[in-house]
C-alpha cells in the first residue's frame, strides 16, 4: 500500500488496483467517465485487473496508453478502494506522534532540506512505510514528492508547506521536470485535503493548468490555510467511511482528465507511449548512472524505490520491482531474486512478458527519442543502432588537445573497457598528470599539426574522436583575440582534418562517434563557421547544474542524446561547501567560472575570496578546485607542481560530471567491465 502513483498520474511507484469489480461499480464508473470504457485483462491467470482506457485507443497493447495510467489513488496513509459499494477510503493505523516536541507529525506536508540539495516538498511518513528502522530522536522520515524516495531528515531542516513563497524556486521549476512534478504532486495533495477545486483550464499547456494551483499556494492556501492542509485521518482511526458523491465525482473528474490524454510520444525501448510529464522524466533520468556503473533508475519508468540489476556481463540496466510485478507478472520480482544471474528484459529473447514487449528496433527508437532536429540548419547526424551486449567490444579513442586526460578518466569511471587511448598533448605538465594518474595506459603522441594520415592508419581504427582546441583566440573575453583563422584559433581545422580522416570509410559498418568542445563566449561568426564545417549545431551545457561552479561550454558532436537535460546525480558536489576541506566555510553556494587566471577565484564585484578559515578570507585550495571540477582529490598533484600551475591545468580542463553526462549513452555500444 505504500507504493503509488498519485492522482496526477506521475510515475512514483506502481501498484494495480486488484478488486473484484461488480457490474454495479462498472456501471457507476462508466456513467462518470462517459468518454471511457472499462477493460479487464488477465495476466498470468491472476485476478482480473481494472484498467481504464479511452475508447479512442484501439491497440491491444496496454502500453498504447502512457505508462502513468497504471495507477491507483492514495493520499498519505489513506488508500482508496473500488468495491461493491462504490469508492471508499480506509485509514491505516498510525503510530503516536513524535515525543520530541518538534512538531511535524505523520502525514504533514512539509518542505525539507538535506545536504547537497535545495529545499524540496515532501510528506512525513511512518517508518513502516520505508521498510527501515524508526527515525532517530529529532528526526523524521520523509517521502519526497517527485520520485517517491525516502530520507531521514532533521526536524530542524523542515518547514510547513504553507511557507511556499519562501522555499519555492522559480529557477528550479523552469529547468527541472522532476521539480515541476514534485510541486504538482504536493499541491494536488494539498488541494484534496483542503477540498479546493479549480476552474477547468481549456489550455493544453501544463503550465497554464498548474498556474491556479501555484497562485493558491503563494496566496497562503486560502480560505482554510494551514488548518485545511492537516492530514485527513487521526491516529488509531480504523473505521471505513464512504466518500461523498461530491468527492467521488471530484476524484473521477481528475481521472477522466488524465485518462483522456493521448500519449505525447513513444516509449523508446518497449511497445507503448509516454505522456509529456513522463517523457520529460525519461529525458532527464534515463542516462544517469551510479558509482557501480548501473543505471540510477528503472529502464521502464525511470523511477523505482527498489531495483533489480541485470546480471548480463555488459548490460548496465536495472528494473524496478513494481514494473516487474505490474507489467510482467505478480511475483515476477520475487522470482527474479532467486536467479543468479538474472537477465533483464532487454537481454532476454524478443518475446512478450506479460504486457512488457521490447521493441525490435529499440536501438533506433532510442536515438530517435533523443534526436531533436527542430530549428536545425543541418541534417541530423547518422543514428547508429545499439550493439547487443554480447557483441560489444572495448572502445578505441583518439583524443586531441587531451589536457589532463579527462576523457580517459570518465570512460574508466563509467566502467568502459578501453582498448586504446591515443592522446595528442603538448603541455608537459598535462602529460605528467596523465602518465602518473593512469599508470602509462595512455599513448601520448606529438602535436596535432604533425599527425598524418599514415599515423591514423597505424594507430586506428578509432571509435571515438574527442577534443577541444584552445579557446584563447576565440573567446570574446580576450581583447587581443585573433579569431578562428589566426593564432591558436586555426587549430580547430586540425581537429576537423583528423576527424575527417578517422571517420569510417564507405562500406565500413561500425558505430563512430565524435565530440568537439569550445567556449560559449565566442563570436557569432566563429560559431557559425565551426558549425558549418562540422555540419551540426552545438548544444550548450553549463556545469553549474552538476557542480559548484559555472562553466558554460558548446559541444558539437554525434553522441547519442547530447541535447537531453542535464541532471545531477548523487555523487555530484553541487554546493561549494561540499568541496571544502574540514574547518573551512564557504561564503558562496556556487562560484564563477574558474579559468587559468588566479583572479578568477575571487567572487562578486568586490572580489571577495570564496572561503572563510579561522575568521579570515582565503583562496580555494588545489584539492578543493579538483572537487569542484569533479576530479579525484590530488589528481593534479604530480611533478612538484605549484598551486598556480595546477590551477592552469584545471582551468583548461573539462568538467567531469558534464563529460560523464555526454559519454554515458555510449554504454549501449561498447564493452564495460
**Cell (9 digits) for 333:** 520480482
Confidence band of 367 (pLDDT split at 50, 70, 90): low
pLDDT of residue 376: 53
Mean per-residue pLDDT, 188-206:
80
Q: What are phi and psi of 645, to 5 degrees?
A: -65, -40
β-pairing, 86-91 vs 109-112, is: unpaired
Percent of the chain with pLDDT over 90: 35
Q: How far is CA 450 from CA 89, 191, 297, 425, 495, in A?
A: 76, 68, 45, 12, 12
**Lowest-confidence segment of 79-93, 193-207, 349-363, 403-417 by average pLDDT:** 79-93
pLDDT of residue 178: 82
Rounded Cα distance, 148 and 276, in Å: 19
Residue 241 has a CB neighbour count (10 Å cut-off) of 10
Burial code (b: 16+ CB inside 10 Å, e: under 16) for 552-567 equals ebbbbbbbbbbbbbbb
pLDDT over threshold 70, residue 193: yes
The tens digit of pLDDT for each residue in 558-570 reads: 999 888 888 888 8
**Lowest-confidence segment of 220-234, 276-290, 504-518, 650-664 by average pLDDT:** 276-290
Confidence band of 528 (pLDDT split at 50, 70, 90): confident
Q: Can you say whether the dihedral through the CA atoms of 216, 222, 223, 225 is positive or negative?
A: positive
Confidence band of 291 (pLDDT split at 50, 70, 90): low
DSSP track, 404-419 = TTHHHHHHHHTTB-EE
SS3 call for 555: strand
pLDDT of residue 237: 38
Determine which helix (DSSP H) or strand (DSSP E) holds 81, and give its type and residue range: strand 78-83
**Cell (9 digits) for 123:** 510528506
pLDDT of residue 24: 33
pLDDT of residue 31: 39
pLDDT of residue 43: 28
**Lowest-confidence segment of 256-265, 529-538, 649-658 by average pLDDT:** 256-265
**Cell (9 digits) for 522:** 565566442
Mean per-residue pLDDT, 23-44:
34
pLDDT over threshold 50, residue 172: yes
pLDDT of residue 576: 92
Which has the closest alpha carbon to 663: 413, 420, 496, 300?
A: 413
pLDDT of residue 232: 64
pLDDT of residue 99: 64
Q: What are phi and psi of 302, to 5 degrees?
A: 55, 35
The tens digit of pLDDT for each residue in 80-115 reads: 333 333 333 333 333 344 667 788 888 899 999 988
Active-site residue numbers? Answer: 471
Confidence band of 23 (pLDDT split at 50, 70, 90): very low
pLDDT of residue 19: 33
pLDDT over threshold 60, residue 221: yes
Say if CB 50 and CB 16 are below 8 A apart: yes
**Lowest-confidence segment of 41-50, 122-131, 270-279, 281-290 by average pLDDT:** 41-50
pLDDT over threshold 60, residue 274: yes
**Lowest-confidence segment of 11-15, 195-199, 259-263, 627-631 by average pLDDT:** 11-15
Mean per-residue pLDDT, 463-490:
86
**In the chain, what are the domains?**
108-198+209-228 (2.30.30.140), 265-370 (no CATH), 389-668 (3.40.50.150)
DSSP track, 317-352 = -EEEHHHIIIII-TTHHHHHHT-SSPP-TTTS-S-E
SS3 call for 256: helix
Q: Which residues are 38's β-sheet partners?
A: 52
Rounded Cα distance, 629 and 274, in Å: 35
Rounded Cα distance, 564 and 370, in Å: 7
Mean per-residue pLDDT, 539-544:
86
Confidence band of 9 (pLDDT split at 50, 70, 90): very low
SS3 call for 246: helix
Mean per-residue pLDDT, 528-541:
88
**Lowest-confidence segment of 18-22, 121-125, 639-643 by average pLDDT:** 18-22
pLDDT of residue 430: 95
Higher pLDDT, residue 274 or 87: 274
Rounded Cα distance, 487 and 474, in Å: 9
pLDDT over threshold 60, residue 319: yes
Higher pLDDT, residue 295 or 653: 653
Give the chain's mean pLDDT: 77
Amino acid at each position: 500500500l505504500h507504493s503509488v502513483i498519485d492522482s496526477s498520474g506521475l510515475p512514483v511507484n506502481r501498484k494495480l488496483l486488484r478488486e473484484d469489480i461488480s457490474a454495479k461499480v462498472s456501471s457507476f464508473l462508466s456513467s462518470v467517465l462517459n468518454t471511457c470504457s472499462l477493460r479487464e485483462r488477465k495476466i498470468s491467470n491472476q485476478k482480473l485487473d481494472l484498467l481504464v482506457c479511452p475508447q479512442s485507443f484501439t491497440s491491444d497493447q496496454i502500453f498504447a496508453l502512457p505508462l502513468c495510467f497504471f495507477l491507483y489513488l492514495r493520499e498519505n496513509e489513506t488508500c482508496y478502494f473500488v468495491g461493491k459499494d462504490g469508492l471508499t477510503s480506509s485509514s491505516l493505523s498510525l503510530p503516536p506522534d513524535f515525543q520530541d516536541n518538534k512538531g511535524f507529525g505523520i502525514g504533514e506536508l512539509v518542505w525539507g532540506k538535506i545536504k547537497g540539495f535545495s529545499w524540496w516538498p515532501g510528506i512525513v511518513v511512518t517508518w513502516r512505510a520505508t521498510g527501515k528502522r524508526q527515525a532517530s530522536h529529532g528526526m523524521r522520515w520523509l517521502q519526497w514528492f517527485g520520485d517517491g524516495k525516502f530520507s531521514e531528515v532533521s526536524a530542524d531542516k523542515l518547514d510547513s508547506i504553507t511557507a511556499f513563497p519562501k522555499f519555492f524556486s522559480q529557477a528550479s521549476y523552469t529547468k527541472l521536470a522532476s521539480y515541476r512534478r514534485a510541486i504538482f504532486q504536493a499541491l494536488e495533495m494539498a488541494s484534496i485535503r483542503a477540498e479546493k477545486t479549480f476552474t477547468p483550464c481549456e489550455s493544453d499547456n501544463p503550465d497554464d493548468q498548474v498556474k491556479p494551483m501555484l497562485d493558491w499556494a503563494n496566496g497562503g492556501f486560502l480560505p482554510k490555510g494551514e488548518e485545511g492542509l492537516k492530514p485527513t485521518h487521526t491516529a488509531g482511526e480504523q473505521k471505513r467511511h464512504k466518500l461523498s458523491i461530491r468527492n467521488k465525482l471530484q476524484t473521477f473528474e481528475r481521472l477522466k482528465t488524465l485518462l483522456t490524454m493521448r500519449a505525447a510520444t513513444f516509449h523508446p525501448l518497449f511497445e507503448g507511449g509516454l505522456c509529456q510529464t513522463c517523457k520529460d522524466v525519461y529525458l532527464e533520468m534515463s542516462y544517469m548512472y551510479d558509482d557501480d556503473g548501473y543505471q540510477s533508475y528503472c529502464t521502464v519508468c525511470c523511477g523505482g524505490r527498489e531495483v533489480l540489476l541485470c546480471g548480463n556481463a555488459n548490460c548496465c540496466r536495472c528494473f524496478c520491482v513494481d514494473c516487474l510485478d505490474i507489467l510482467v507478472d505478480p511475483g515476477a520480482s520475487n522470482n527474479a531474486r532467486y536467479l543468479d544471474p538474472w537477465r533483464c528484459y532487454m537481454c532476454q529473447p524478443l518475446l512478450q512478458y506479460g504486457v512488457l514487449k521490447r521493441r525490435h528496433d529499440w536501438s533506433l527508437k532510442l536515438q530517435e527519442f533523443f534526436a531533436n532536429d527542430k530549428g536545425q540548419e543541418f541534417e541530423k547526424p547518422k543514428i547508429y543502432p545499439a550493439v547487443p551486449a554480447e557483441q560489444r567490444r572495448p572502445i578505441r579513442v583518439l583524443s586531441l588537445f587531451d589536457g589532463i586526460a579527462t576523457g580517459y578518466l570518465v570512460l574508466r569511471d563509467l566502467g568502459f573497457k578501453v582498448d586504446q587511448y591515443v592522446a595528442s598533448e603538448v603541455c608537459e605538465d598535462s602529460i605528467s598528470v596523465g602518465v602518473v594518474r593512469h599508470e602509462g595506459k595512455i599513448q601520448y603522441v606529438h602535436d596535432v599539426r604533425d599527425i598524418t594520415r599514415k599515423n591514423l592508419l597505424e594507430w586506428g581504427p578509432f571509435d571515438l574522436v574527442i577534443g577541444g582546441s584552445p579557446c584563447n583566440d576565440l573567446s570574446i573575453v580576450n581583447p587581443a583575440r585573433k579569431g578562428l583563422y589566426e593564432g591558436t584559433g586555426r587549430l580547430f581545422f586540425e581537429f576537423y582534418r583528423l576527424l575527417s580522416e578517422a571517420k569510417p570509410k564507405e562500406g565500413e559498418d561500425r558505430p563512430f562517434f565524435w565530440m568537439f568542445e569550445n567556449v560559449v563566449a565566442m563570436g557569432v561568426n566563429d560559431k557559425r563557421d565551426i558549425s558549418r564545417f562540422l555540419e551540426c549545431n552545438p548544444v550548450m551545457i553549463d556545469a553549474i547544474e552538476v557542480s559548484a561552479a559555472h562553466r558554460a561550454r558548446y559541444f558539437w558532436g554525434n553522441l547519442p542524446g547530447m541535447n537531453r537535460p542535464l541532471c545531477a546525480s548523487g555523487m555530484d558536489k553541487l554546493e561549494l561547501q561540499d568541496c571544502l576541506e574540514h574547518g573551512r566555510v564557504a561564503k558562496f553556494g556556487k562560484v564563477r567560472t574558474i579559468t587559468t587566471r588566479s583572479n578568477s577565484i575571487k567572487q562578486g564585484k568586490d572580489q571577495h575570496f570564496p572561503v572563510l578559515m579561522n575568521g579570515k578570507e582565503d583562496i580555494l585550495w588545489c584539492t578543493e578546485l579538483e572537487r569542484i571540477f569533479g576530479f579525484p582529490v590530488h589528481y593534479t598533484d604530480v611533478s612538484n607542481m605549484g598551486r598556480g600551475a595546477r590551477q592552469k591545468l584545471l582551468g583548461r580542463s573539462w568538467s567531469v560530471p558534464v563529460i560523464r553526462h555526454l559519454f554515458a549513452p555510449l554504454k549501449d555500444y561498447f564493452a564495460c567491465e
